[in-house]
Chains A and B, each alone.
Chain A
Amino acid sequence: MPQHDVLVIGAGLAGQRAALAAAEGGASVGIISKVHPVRSHSNAAQGGINAALNPEDSWESHAFDTVKGSDYLGDQDAIEIMCREAPEEILHLEHLGVTFHRNEQGKLGTRAFGGASAARTYYVADITGQAILHVLYEQLMKFSDSVERFEEWFTTALVKDDTGRIAGAVTRNIRDGSIELFTAKTVILATGGNGQIFDPSTNALICTGDGIAQAYRAGATLMDMEMIQYHPTTLAGIGLLITEGARGEGAHLYNANGERFMEKYAPNKMELASRDVVSRAEQTEIDEGRGFPDGTVALDITVVPKQRIHEALREIVMVGRDFAGVDITREPIHIKPGNHYVMGGVKTNVDGETDVPGLYAAGECACVSVHGGNRLGANSLLDTLIFGRRSGAHAARVAKGMSMPTPAGEDLGRERAMIDGIVGRDRTGRRVSEIRAEMGAVMDKHCAVFRDEQGLNIALETVKRLREEAKTVSVDDKGSVFNQDVLGALELQYMLDNAECIVAGAIERKESRGAQFRTDYPERNDEEWIKHIDLAAGDDGSPEISYSEVTMTQWEPQERKY
Chain B
Amino acid sequence: MPDYKLKIRRFDPESGGAAYWSEYDVQVDSERSVLKGILDARDRQDGSIGIRCSCQAAICGSCAVRINGKTALACNTAIGEAAAKAGPGNPIVVEPMNNMPVIKDLIVDMDAVHWKKVQRVVPWLLPEGPPPEREHIVPAESMIDITQSMACIQCGACVGACLALEVDDEFVGPAALAKAYRFVGDPRDGQEAERLKDLAEDPHGMYDCTHCFACIEVCPKDVAPMSQIMRLRRRATNDFEIKDRNNGYGHEKAFVNIVEKYGTLHEAQLLPRSFGDGSLIKGQTEPGAVRELIQNLPTVVNGLKSGKVSPVKALYHHKLPDQRNVKKIFEEIESKDERLELNLYIVAENSAEEEGAMAEGSQES
A residues with a Cβ closer than 8 A to B are 35-36, 38-41, 43-44, 91, 94-97, 99-109, 124-125, 127, 130-131, 134-135, 138-139, 141-142, 144, 175, 204-206, 238, 240-241, 307, 310-311, 314-315, 317-319, 321-323, 325, 431-433, 475-485, 488
Contacts and interface: CB of A to CB of B under 8 A. Distances in A.
Residue from B14, B132, B359 whose CB has the most chain A CB atoms within 10 Å:
B359
Contact of B56 (A94, A97, A205): A205
A254 B220 CA distance: 31
Given A131-B150, A476-B47, A477-B48, A319 B57 contact: yes
A310 B13 contact: no
18 contacts: A39-B55, A39-B61, A43-B55, A96-B124, A99-B146, A102-B140, A127-B150, A134-B152, A204-B55, A307-B355, A310-B359, A311-B355, A319-B58, A321-B363, A322-B78, A477-B48, A481-B13, A481-B14
Q: Which 3 A-B pairs have the closest CB atoms?
A: A310-B359, A97-B125, A433-B43
B151 interface: yes
A157 B52 CA distance: 23
Given A44-B60, A106-B140, A125-B151, 18 more contacts: A36-B110, A41-B55, A94-B136, A95-B131, A99-B186, A104-B140, A124-B143, A125-B144, A142-B124, A238-B32, A317-B359, A318-B76, A322-B76, A322-B78, A431-B44, A432-B43, A476-B48, A477-B48
A296 to B, nearest CB: 15
B353 interface: yes
Interface string B123-150: 1110100011011111110011011001
Contacts of B13: 481
B119 interface: yes
B122 to A, nearest CB: 9
Given A99-B186, A141-B123, A141-B124, A484 B138 contact: no
A39 B62 contact: yes
B124 A139 contact: yes
A321 B182 CA distance: 26
Contacts of A96: 124-125
Contacts of A95: 127, 131-132, 135-136
A108 B134 CA distance: 10
A323 B48 contact: no
Interface in B81-129: 103-105, 107, 110, 118-119, 123-125, 127
Contacts of B54: 35, 39, 41, 204-206
Contacts of A175: 103
Given A127-B151, A139-B124, A476-B48, A482 B107 contact: yes
Contacts of B46: 476
Nearest to B363: A321
B309 interface: no
A323 B32 CA distance: 8
Contacts of A478: 48
Given A94-B136, A433-B43, A482-B107, A238 B14 contact: no
Contacts of A124: 143, 147, 150
Contacts of B127: 95
A313 B124 CA distance: 26
A95 to B, nearest CB: 4
B355 to A, nearest CB: 5
A12 to B, nearest CB: 11
A20 to B, nearest CB: 12
Interface in B344-365: 353, 355-356, 358-361, 363
A307 B352 CA distance: 11
Contact of B14 (A311, A475, A480): A480
Contacts of B358: 125, 310, 314
Tell me if B's interface is mostly helix, strand, loop or mixed.
Answer: loop
Contacts of A433: 42-44
A134 to B, nearest CB: 7
Contacts of B256: none
Contacts of A109: 140
Given A141-B119, A323-B76, A431-B47, A102 B139 contact: yes
A108 B135 contact: yes
Contacts of B182: 99
A480 B15 CA distance: 11
B150 A105 contact: no
Nearest to A327: B364
A307 B353 contact: yes
A134 B50 contact: no
A488 B47 contact: yes
Of the listed residues B14, B151, B221, the one surrounded by the most CB atoms of chain A closer than 10 A to its CB is B151
A35 B32 CA distance: 24
Interface in B160-186: 182-183, 186
Interface string B277-318: 000000000000000000000000000000000000000000
B180 to A, nearest CB: 12
